[in-house]
Amino acid sequence: MKKNDILLIGIIIVISLAALLFINILGKSDNITAVVIQNNKVIERIDLSTVKEPRTITVSGDYHNIIKVEKDRIRFEKSDCPEQICVHTGWLTKYGDIAVCMPNKTIIDIEK
């Protein structure tokens, strides 16, 4: 490799790392709001930064979802839908995170 090739690779790596850092910083916020939606209707808005005690939300429809809410995070804890993709998504903690239970038409979306 030539000297210019190594320089170009170094510049690309630096730009990539800077972009990742920028995206990570943008994704963090002091006030994180989780929005629980079913059938295109907002069921509940939760400011995750103010949650004192863990709690659950039950969402019923064609299937049943149990959503676990804790300080600074939220997730589908249980569901009786066939593939459990929503449950396997795990904890949502930052702006832009989203989990969806398609069979029950339920969405958890993290907003700022």
> For 32, which DSSP code?
-
CB atoms within 10 A of CB 15: 10
Let me know how long the chain is.
112
Both tokens assigned to 33: 């709001």
Measured between its terminal Cα atoms, the distance across the chain in Å is 46
Give residue limits of the domains in the chain: 1-30, 33-111
Q: Mind listing the pLDDT tens digit for each residue in 54-74?
A: 999 999 999 999 999 999 999
What average pLDDT is seen over the chain? Answer: 91
Mean per-residue pLDDT for 29-47?
91
CATH number for the domain whose boundaries are 33-111? 2.60.320.10
Distances (CA, A) of 16 to 8, 19, 27: 12, 5, 17
Its pTM stands at 0.74
Both tokens assigned to 2: 């030539």
